[in-house]
Structures are given as C-alpha cells and as structure tokens.
A and B are shown apart, each in its own frame.
Chain A
C-alpha cells in the first residue's frame, strides 16, 4: 500500500468518511474514500455546502485548500463545486465536499461561505468570473480575473467558450477601490508597471502621513489562461505548461501535476526518479530563497550583502543547468518519473556545490545578522499575527514565520519525502518541545520570515545530502503510464511544497485518453496574496517593498 498508487485507503480517510456519513446521513448523495487520502462527500443540495464546510472546519480541523468549479453540464447537467480541505494538522488526509449547481438556470447561484471562511472570498470571485456562478452572500462583488475591459457575459472556463475566442474590449469600466476618506488621507497608486524588474500588479495605498492605513491589491495582469489552455493539450504537454505557471517554482508545480496524474493511473514512479525529483525541488528552494534574501538585503539598502547572495544564487542556477539542462530546472519532471538523471559525477557536483554555497551562505548571514542597520529594518516590520495568518489560510514560509507549523512535505508526505525526515525536531520529546517553543516565538515579522528562509536553505542542503547518500541503485527513471489506466473523468489531487508553500492541483481527465477535462491550480501565492494587505497596515510606505519581498509572492502563479 503506497501513497502514490491508487490502491488502498488511508485509515484516517475511512474514519472521516464514516463521521461525515453519520453526521449528514441522507443529505449526502455519496461518500467515499479514494486516491489513498481523499475523502469525497457529495451533498444532495447545494444549500448544505455552508454547513458541511463548517463541520469539516470545526470538527475535522480542516483548512480550506482550494475550491474547484467544473463545468459538467454535458454529463450531469450541472456545474460541480468541490471544496477541498486539508486536515494535515491531524492526519495525512484531504476532505473534499462537493455539490452540484443547476446548469440549465440562466443565472446559476450557489451559497457563499466567504463570511465563514475568509479564505474562500477569492475563490468565489474567481468562480464568478470564470464560470458565471454567482456566490450569494459574498460581500465582494467586484470582478477578479477578468478586468473591467471584459464584457460581463463572458465565462472563459465554461465548455462552450472556445479557447481562441477574441472578446471585444469594453471601454469605460472602472474598478472600485475601497476609498478611505478623512482629513490628511491621500492615495498612492502604484503599478501595474513597477520600477524594478518584477511582475505586474497594481497597489492602491491610502496613507495618513507616511503610515499606510489601507492597501488594496489588484492583480491578474498576467492572466494567461493556463487552466483553459490545459484542456486543449495532451497530458505530456500540460507537464510543460505546469512548469510555466510560475517559472521559479517549475519543479514544485510540475511535481504536483505529475503526482495527480500518477495517482489517477495508479502508477508509482521508480524510487530513484522520486529522489531526483526531490533533489531538484530542494535545489529550486535554495536558489529561490537565496534570491529572496538578496532582495531583502537590497530593499533595506544593503547592496553589499545582496551582491554576495546573488553570486550564490547564480552559482546555484549554474548548478541547475549542469543538472537539468535548464537554469530554472525546466524539463525535470515527466509523467511517471523524471527526464534527467543524477549520475555519480553530477551527484558529486551537486553535493560539493551545495556545500560550498552553504559555507559562504552562513558567512553572509552572519554578516547580515551582525549589522544593526539591516536587522533594525527587518525587526517588527510587516507583522502578520498568528490568528490572522490562520484565518487567512496562509501557507509556506509566511505561515511558518507566523507560528503555524505546517509543511506539506511533512504533513502529506509525497514522493521521496516519505522516507526522509524533513523535520529533525520531531524525533525526541526534548526536540519536540524546543521546536514548539521556536514556533511559539515566531513573531510573523519580516525578520521571522528572513530567519525561516535562512533555516530552510540549510535544511534543504541537509535533505539533498541525505537523498544523494541513499540514491536508489536501480537506474530506472520512468514508470510507464498505461493509456487504459487513464479512465475518463477520473480525478485526483496533486500537491507539493514549493519554496512559497503548498501548491495544490486538481486534475480531472478528459473523455479522450490523454486529455485533461479540468485542471485547477492553486499555488501558495494565491493563498498568501491577501495577507500583504494585512501585513503593511501601520507600517510606512517605504517598508512596503521590503514586506512584499519577504512574502515572496508570485504574480504569475496567482494570475494563472
């Protein structure tokens, strides 16, 4: 029984299934466990969604992981909504609550859960834009993905919408930013084209003197139609597409997609392939964290440190090129395995480069930590308190820096992470207490995120050492994915911990073998973006770049 294959069910999943059945009985059309750790509960009526969601949140300790809408009108005459909850705090299980929304209605609606689960707000707005389902009770009725120049009756993810349709622009629309009024309050609009070499997004600050009293972000400028495009590509091509969801988290996103398909097919990649995948995922984490730490150093006006961290990042990117033939680690993952190998000389190169980089890295970090002009800017800036972090459903570095002890690699072990100890603190009671104290003292400020990232770079090098030390001797790198195993409309979740946090992909296969019916992507950035609006409150405008960098958000990964 493996977590990768389709066979078997996690005992925790069976228990959750029973609990849901007992509680909701006849109100569920079906409840079943599948794909090892997924519990599916299908409600008969969409009106039961809020109650089911509340039950999963409060009784099963679930955190909203994603909301997936899919247009299944051809098969079921309805849209299907799936609310995936992550109960990784308790056990390696996902609970997926689903319900159908009548597809024949001219203006289909569904009950909003935004007021119960604040994290749901964005998903519901997205569903409204892309499918035209109206979330009844969502306080925010503004468009999200489709900006004001899109006509109101265009819903790109509906099946009747053709991928290559060119929709006429509507002129004169305006986005309603929340207006803060009062004596001395003024607004600063920033973007979408920024001053630095970064991605596009619009920020609207309301300020009183230098202090930010409100910030609103407007994103989705880089919306490229990833999810719709996937429906027209073959599975192998979607792997390439998933690498380009967000270029700097290519390995994480493609791993998540591959795992989803491998689960559907019941295929377990060879052990060596999983190890290569994990090594590349950690290489990605290292070079990205180095880049972010360099950015922090730049943003506090300390280019001396930044220049050196960027040298290390460049060294890692050159290592990436040696290992994978791409400086951004494109082309690592394949369905059922990986496309590259770590031959002994390459493994040796990875080990020695990582060791050298780590040695230099620790010297630079020591320098930064001894510099009060750096530390003073980081300490107490951009605070996200633990309760806010929990309510918003923060992920990854941002969450761990606010004291939320979550990490997909540990909570939902996948691939090679099943056999390694990502968290050495979990081993002994004493370590456990130390770890708990450490998590409890995380203040959620920029300094905490700085320290978390530093720790993760060191940790990643450890993981790479451990993986390379135990590389499986069987040279097999690909398990075949048989066509007949890809059953029409079979679906599964795939997930991975990118350097930003959990990335979770839901895949439903198409009727034709080797096609995708629906591909829903939720990167950590989508979950973490709203947090920036909370983090900058009461800080000064000049600290915004620093706070933004410390949260390390991807625009492309959010906008899709």
Chain B
C-alpha cells in the first residue's frame, strides 16, 4: 500500500476525505457551452417564413421539427422527445431556435414533449444542482416508499451513451445511493424500470418479460430520445419508435443522452407516479 501523504489532504485522490470529490462537485451544473434544451428566441417575430421552416425541417435528422398551417398562419412544432441536441436547427435558423445550456425537462406525458413556439415554460428545478435535486428526491422517497427506491436498468437497444450517463449516477461524485436510490440486479426487486434505447425489435420480447417480472406498483422511465420516441433511429423495421409501443411509460426523460441531473429529475417524477 502507498502511504497517504498527510500534507496535501484536500485533493488527495487516494484519501478518504470528503474533499476528494468536492472540487469536482463545484461544477454541479452544466457548462456554458453545453448543448441542452432547445429554446425559442424572439417569439414576437412576424409570420414565419415558409422557406426557412422547410430548411429547418430538412436539417433535423430525427424529424423533431414540423410546420403546418393553422388558420392561414404557419406554425412550427418541436418534438422535444425526438430532439438529439445537435444544434443544427440553431445554425440554420438562429431566429427560430436557440440551444440552451440547461437540460430538457423530463415530463410525465408524451404530449408535454410537443411544444409550439412559445415563451419558455416554467423551468422549476432546472436551476438546481445535483445535490439539491438529490435531497428533494431523498425526502420524497422517504415519504412515499418509507425507505429506498430500487431501480432496474434495461437497455432496449441504445447506443450505450445513455448507459454511460446512468452508470455515472453511481460514481463517487453523483453517488445516487446516498439519496436512497439503488440499482438492483433483478427486475423482481425493482420499483422503477429505467429503460434506454429504441425498443429494438430484437429486444421487444425481453423488455416485455422484464416488465412482467417487475412487481406492482411499477414505474417505467423512458431515458433519452431513443426510448421516448426512437430519436434519430426513428420508427423503422428494426426499431419500435420509442418503448411506449412495448410497455406503458410513466416518465419521459428527453436528451441525447440526458445528463445525470436530468435523470435525477426524472426519478423525482417517477416517485410521484408510485401509488
């Protein structure tokens, strides 16, 4: 064993100090350049230009943007569930879209992910750091479940990006277990199924069986654009266009992939859903 150097305690990677990760925790929020939620600047702009609308529609790989005419006026619709935060719409039409450095808000229904150009909705909780969110979650878990929340993660055809972020929740910095959240090895021990991926055809049966094996009451959280809507992979011969066509979904966490704070926020909503 290497002896611990007592002279430099705060940042000693091998030390037992809480300071080991404090430095890393300071940046609990997204960096300024982080590509997150899509916002809508200049809401008051006069009627939309049809050419510009077509241009942004074409540029969007997951087809999250659509426009249609309502009462003679062109209206743009954004499906935040499909958005992969590439930022190409902002480049094509900076007057219509702006990428913000905060994560997209997890929601409880699919229709909440469909937004028309409108002022930003209330973004409660989005300014909170991981710590604050975690404490809220911990309180809620104690109130609803008594002790802890057990999660089973299922990959139903993801690119493994979401897995990287879900796994990050377990590292010593996010350390989700201190909030009473535990990843369990079997669906039979789980309260929540955290499902990533497009719901690939080859995983459909396994996902359904995992769902059936989970005891009631159970909550399904669709993690990421793929699980919510199919994301960039869409609805094809090999995918199901989102896992909701395979199992009922209670919470949608948009993002590609969603950052750990967004996952925590999604879990907050999931606990609400437990009855």
Contact = CB atoms under 8 A, between A and B. Distances in A.
Contact of B232 (A234, A241, A327, A371): A241
Interface stretch (A5-13, A188-196, A460-468): A188-196
A310 B31 contact: no
Interface bin, chain B:
35 or more
Describe B's contact surface by its main secondary structure. Answer: loop
Interface string B38-77: 0000000000000000000011010000000000000000
Nearest to B230: A224
Given A156-B238, A197-B153, A321 B31 contact: yes
A112 interface: no
B134 interface: no
Given A193-B154, A246-B159, 10 more contacts: A222-B197, A223-B201, A225-B233, A225-B236, A240-B88, A308-B20, A310-B171, A322-B31, A330-B86, A367-B2
B235 interface: yes
Contacts of B88: 236, 240
Given A199-B155, A330-B86, A149 B205 contact: yes
A188 B205 CA distance: 20
A229 B200 contact: no
A248 interface: yes
B122 interface: no
A465 B31 CA distance: 23
Interface string A320-362: 0110111110110000000000000000000000000000100
Given A197-B163, A241-B61, A221 B232 contact: no
Contact of A247 (B85, B162, B237): B162
A321 B186 CA distance: 33
Nearest to B225: A244
Interface in B131-177: 153-168, 170-174
B18 interface: no
Nearest to B152: A193
Interface of A: 147, 149, 156, 161-167, 192-193, 195-200, 220-226, 228-229, 233-234, 236-237, 240-241, 244-248, 250, 291, 307-308, 310-315, 317-318, 321-322, 324-328, 330-331, 360, 363-364, 366-367, 370-371, 554-556, 559
A248 B239 contact: no
Interface in B1-43: 1-2, 13-14, 20-21, 24, 27, 30-31, 33-35
28 contacts: A149-B205, A163-B237, A164-B237, A193-B210, A198-B155, A200-B155, A200-B203, A220-B202, A223-B238, A224-B233, A234-B58, A246-B159, A250-B161, A291-B167, A310-B168, A310-B172, A311-B171, A311-B173, A314-B174, A321-B33, A321-B34, A322-B31, A326-B35, A326-B85, A330-B86, A330-B161, A371-B1, A556-B159
Contacts of B185: 195-196
A248 B238 contact: no
Contacts of A331: 35, 86-87
B84 A240 contact: yes
B168 A223 contact: no
B266 interface: no
